[in-house]
Amino acid sequence: MILAAAVLLPAHVFPLDEEEARLEELLRYMKNPPKEEYPTQEIYLKNGFLYCTGDSTAAVENNKACELMEKGDFKSAAKVLKEGLKNSALFFPFQYNIGMCYLYRDRLKRALNHFNKARQIVPEFSKTYLQMGYIYDRMNLDNNAIYYFREGIKHNVKELETFVMIGDIFFKRHQLEMAQKYYNAALSVDYRLPNGILGMAKIQFKRGNYIKAIVLLKGIDTAKKEYDKALHYYYAESAFKLRDYKTAAEQYTILLKHRNDRFFLTNSPALIEHKLNLSNRFAEF
């Protein structure tokens, strides 16, 4: 079976007025969405990985791999999934989850290959497009990332995190006004969306408004919903800037408890430990 290659877009930056038009198009799309679809009733997401119901060999092996991934043992999980793929190359959870394994092991091209295969098998599953967008973002191919994020929204308009992820690209580009528009687009649907509020806090941080950033971060409910662990980084950094070293140390400590989080794919644990030590040292004076 020959699978289509992932779309590769030219590396140019869209003018902001064109970008605003694209955002308006997505918002109009949300008002009249197609019927939401799922891959099957036997597949469900838990902590970012695809689990299966039932006691088939494929389901049991897949869930075993997911449990290993939740423990941070992505190498062992990949071995289990590779064996499964030998007999069930078209089993969607195998392709998606091995993509997650390679993503967390920072093997981006391999991860992208498996997510692309997963996309071909079950094209209506929105999370696959988000993972592909994230990988392209990591590769600094912003236009490709935005393309796949938008495709994710089109397959499931409830994917508010996608607006945040597009906003993060503009934040990375230092185009704060455009980033804010995407964060606001998500918050206009769910004003308590943790990562949407985090996005607004990041903008305040970037502008040097550290007190405003902390006020926003304190308002995020981390108990009921999943959230980007970068929250603790920006909380700690804001507190450090304000010389509240005790709070900074507390937040760095919380962040280091999530060493398997995506945050540490692009940030060094040693650097965070160094900042924690500095905070503890300064807090003593």
What whole-number distance in Å separates Cα of residue 174 and Cα of residue 73? Answer: 35
Helix (H) or strand (E) holding 177: helix 176-187
Where are the alpha helices (H) located in the chain, listed in sequence order? Answer: 16-31, 57-70, 74-87, 92-104, 108-121, 126-138, 142-155, 160-172, 176-187, 194-206, 210-218, 230-241, 245-256, 263-266, 269-283
- Give whole-number Cα distances, 234 to 35, 228, 255, 261, in Å: 38, 11, 10, 15
DSSP 8-state secondary structure symbol assigned to residue 35: P
Determine the average pLDDT of the residues in 221-244.
Answer: 93
What pLDDT sits at residue 37? 46
Contacts of 190 (CB under 8 A, 6+ apart): 160, 196
* Percentage above 70 pLDDT, the chain: 91
What pLDDT sits at residue 22? 81
143 within 8 A of 153, measured Cβ to Cβ? no
Q: Residue 167 pLDDT more than 60?
A: yes
- How does residue 26 score in pLDDT terms, banded at 50, 70 and 90? confident
Q: Tokens in use for 255?
A: 């962040």
Phi, psi (deg, nearest 5) at residue 50: -95, 110
Q: 27-31, 112-116, 162-166, 231-235: lowest mean pLDDT where?
A: 27-31
97-131 pLDDT tens trace: 999 999 999 999 999 999 999 999 999 999 999 99
- Total-model pTM: 0.77
Helix (H) or strand (E) holding 24: helix 16-31
168-196 pLDDT tens trace: 999 999 999 999 999 999 999 999 999 99
How many Å is the Cα radius of gyration of the chain? 20
Average pLDDT in the chain = 90
What pLDDT sits at residue 35? 55
Give me the architecture of the 192-285 domain, per CATH: Alpha Horseshoe (1.25)
What pLDDT sits at residue 58? 92
Q: Residue 159 pLDDT more than 50?
A: yes
What pLDDT sits at residue 39? 45
199 within 8 A of 183, measured Cβ to Cβ? yes
What's the half-sphere exposure (Cβ side, CA atoms, 13 Å) at 75?
0
35-89 pLDDT tens trace: 544 444 588 988 889 999 888 899 999 999 999 999 999 999 999 999 999 989 9
Contacts of 79 (CB under 8 A, 6+ apart): none
Helix (H) or strand (E) holding 26: helix 16-31
* Percentage above 90 pLDDT, the chain: 74
Domain residue limits, the chain: 192-285
246-257 pLDDT tens trace: 999 999 999 999
What whole-number distance in Å separates Cα of residue 38 and Cα of residue 44? Answer: 9
Type of residue at 184:
N
